[in-house]
């Protein structure tokens, strides 16, 4: 059993047109202001057509084609019984509404149909009346049919254009919001990498030396461990304050912030040497990349990769040689290769929450530059751990 939903009530415009047309038509009929009938039908049929036409107006927006079909029959009856101006006015509105609110097929076909009816009606009037006044029939048909149809076309074109512009604006706003969210996510990821790279090394040294101070019952060793802990705490806090200051600073926010350069690798190695505090470690820097200028993003990524690799050396490597090597192929014109090798330790030591984020950050940095990163044992005996990154250099930077 099918259930029919009740129809929504007609809009206020339809009610107003129907009421005004019905009242105006009754007044005109009472005053006798109507045209001569073309048939012998009694004049009261014009009132019947008036009521039917007013009822069709109530459907002008909900069912425009049905309203036009009903109105066409009522208009024909009105012309045969002596036309009322109110009926003519409401019928023109039904033609206009059918074009404006009807389906696309009606929007395309109704104007053509009104033009064809106007031409045929004019030719028929000329053939029957054979008088120049027969052209008035064509003018009347054009006013009643063609004019409202093409008015509806114009209004519908502008309405559809406005709707398309509104949808385009909404789509643009949505894309802008998506771009903003992606930018926020990318910036948060970049800040997370920077924060990790700046602080993780110091915190790792603090964790290792605090564990040593707790496990070794020697005043001299504990004093040295506490000195290293204090040094790394001060440096970590200083770098943290610098990063927070950059985030909070509003003045000069558009100016580029100072970034670490590869010239500071000696200081990194010295800091790592101080952190392990073991004479069996030897840190060697081999910088054979030539004199070619590197882009700032490439140089920053290389610095952070070396920094994180040395942090992992402090946490996990066994005593032995630690080699940091920078090379470029093609006589200093090719990609930059960063290599950090150390002796693989057998015991990973205490692991802090979030361990492994450093390697993830290195892969993200290299991936953003379109490079490649490998990390793992390389010697035949599996006792040497190597981090190797190849960072492409932009051709524009090569030219400069």
Average pLDDT score over residue span 102-121: 93
Residue 371 carries which DSSP code? Answer: -
Q: How confident is the model at residue 110 (pLDDT cuts 50, 70, 90)?
A: very high
- Between 214-218, 383-387, 389-393, the lowest mean confidence (pLDDT) is in 214-218
User: Which tokens is 278 given?
Assistant: 């073991």
Nearest CA-CA partner of 387 in 372, 369, 397, 400: 372
Contact between 341 and 378 (Cβ < 8 Å) = yes
Q: How confident is the model at residue 66 (pLDDT cuts 50, 70, 90)?
A: very high
More confident site: 111 or 331: 111
Q: Can you state the angle between helices 265-276 and 219-248, rounded to 10 degrees? A: 140
More confident site: 388 or 251: 388
Percent of the chain scoring above 70 in pLDDT: 76
Average pLDDT score over residue span 236-244: 70
Contact between 51 and 22 (Cβ < 8 Å) = yes
- Between 86-90, 168-172, 236-240, the lowest mean confidence (pLDDT) is in 236-240
Q: Does the structure show a pLDDT above 80 at 357?
A: no
Average pLDDT score over residue span 276-287: 84
User: Which tokens is 136 given?
Assistant: 């008035």
Average pLDDT score over residue span 296-305: 87
More confident site: 193 or 49: 49
No. of helices (H) and no. of strands (E), the chain: 13, 5
Q: Does the structure show a pLDDT above 90 at 159?
A: yes
pLDDT of residue 164: 92
Q: Does the structure show a pLDDT above 80 at 151?
A: yes
pLDDT of residue 189: 75
pLDDT of residue 347: 54
CA distance 151 to 94: 12
Bridge partners (DSSP) listed for residue 386? 341, 376
Distances in whole angstroms, Cα of residue 389 to Cα of each of 128, 314, 322, 369? 96, 20, 16, 11
pLDDT of residue 197: 67
Residue 133 carries which DSSP code? Answer: G
CA distance 227 to 209: 9
- pTM, whole model, 2 decimals? 0.52
Contact between 285 and 324 (Cβ < 8 Å) = yes
pLDDT of residue 141: 92
Bridge partners (DSSP) listed for residue 339? 325, 388
Q: How far is CA 17 from the centre of its chain?
A: 45
The H-or-E segment that residue 196 falls in is helix 147-215
Contact between 260 and 300 (Cβ < 8 Å) = yes
Spatial neighbors of 344 by CB under 8 A, at least 6 apart, are: 316, 317, 318, 377, 382, 383, 384, 385
Range among 121-135, 155-169, 222-236, 268-282 rated most confident:
155-169
The distance in angstroms from the start CA to the end CA of the chain is 80
Q: How confident is the model at residue 247 (pLDDT cuts 50, 70, 90)?
A: low
pLDDT of residue 249: 64
CA distance 68 to 55: 11
CA distance 149 to 140: 14
For 184-237, the pLDDT digits (tens) are 887 777 777 777 666 666 666 676 667 666 666 667 766 666 776 776 677 677
Total residue length of the chain: 400
pLDDT of residue 253: 47
Range among 49-63, 126-140, 311-325, 377-391 rated most confident:
49-63
Nearest CA-CA partner of 299 in 167, 192, 394, 196: 394
Nearest CA-CA partner of 377 in 345, 351, 347: 345
Residue 381 carries which DSSP code? Answer: T
Q: Does the structure show a pLDDT above 50 at 115?
A: yes
Structure-token match 């990063």, residue found: 243
Q: Does the structure show a pLDDT above 60 at 302?
A: yes
Q: What is the DSSP string of 137-192?
A: HHHHHIIIIIHHHHHHHHHHHHHHHHHHHHHHHHHHHHHHHHHHHHHHHHHHHHHH
Contact between 392 and 335 (Cβ < 8 Å) = yes
pLDDT of residue 5: 42
Average pLDDT score over residue span 109-133: 90
Q: What is the mean pLDDT of the chain?
A: 81
Parallel/antiparallel/unpaired status of strands 372-377 and 336-343: unpaired
For 7-26, the pLDDT digits (tens) are 556 688 999 999 999 999 99
Nearest 5°: phi and psi at 216? Answer: -105, 120
CA distance 57 to 36: 25
More confident site: 329 or 304: 304
Residue spans of alpha helices (H) in 216-295 = 219-248, 265-276
Average pLDDT score over residue span 160-164: 92
Q: How confident is the model at residue 78 (pLDDT cuts 50, 70, 90)?
A: very high
């Amino acid at each position: 059993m099918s259930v029919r939903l009740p129809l929504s009530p007609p809009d206020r415009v339809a009610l107003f047109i129907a009421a005004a047309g019905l009242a105006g038509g009754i007044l005109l009929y009472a005053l006798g202001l109507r045209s001569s009938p073309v048939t012998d039908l009694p004049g009261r049929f014009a009132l019947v057509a008036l009521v039917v036409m007013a009822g069709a107006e109530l459907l002008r927006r909900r069912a425009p084609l049905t309203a036009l079909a009903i109105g066409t029959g009522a208009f024909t009856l009105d012309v045969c019984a002596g036309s009322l101006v109110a009926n003519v006015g409401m019928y023109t509105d039904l033609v206009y509404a059918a074009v404006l609110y009807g389906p696309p097929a009606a929007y395309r076909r109704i104007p053509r149909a009104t033009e064809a009816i106007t031409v045929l009606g004019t030719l028929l009037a000329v053939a029957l009346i054979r008088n120049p006044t027969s052209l008035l029939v064509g003018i009347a048909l054009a006013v009643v049919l063609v004019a409202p149809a093409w008015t509806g076309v114009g209004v519908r074109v502008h309405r559809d254009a406005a709707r398309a512009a509104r949808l385009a604006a909404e789509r643009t706003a949505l894309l802008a919001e998506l771009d903003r969210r992606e930018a926020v996510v990318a910036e948060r990821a970049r800040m997370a990498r920077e924060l990790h790279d700046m602080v993780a090394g110091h915190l790792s040294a603090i964790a290792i030396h605090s564990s040593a101070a707790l496990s070794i019952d020697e005043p001299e060793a504990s004093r040295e461990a506490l000195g290293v802990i204090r040094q790394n705490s001060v440096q970590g806090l200083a770098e943290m304050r610098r990063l927070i200051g950059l985030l909070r600073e509003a003045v000069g926010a558009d100016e580029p912030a100072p970034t670490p350069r590869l010239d500071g690798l000696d200081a990194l190695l010295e800091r790592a040497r101080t952190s392990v505090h073991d004479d069996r470690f030897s840190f060697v820097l081999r910088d054979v990349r030539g004199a070619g200028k590197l882009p700032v993003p490439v140089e920053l990524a290389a610095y952070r990769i070396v920094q994180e690799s040395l942090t992992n050396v402090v946490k996990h490597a066994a005593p032995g040689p630690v080699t940091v090597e920078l090379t470029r192929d093609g006589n200093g014109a090719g990609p930059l290769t960063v290599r950090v090798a150390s002796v693989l330790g057998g015991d990973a030591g205490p692991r802090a929450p979030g361990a492994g984020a450093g390697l993830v950050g290195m892969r993200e940095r290299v991936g953003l530059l379109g490079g490649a990163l490998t990390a793992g044992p390389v010697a035949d005996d599996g006792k040497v751990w190597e981090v190797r990154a190849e960072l492409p250099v932009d051709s524009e930077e090569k030219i400069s």
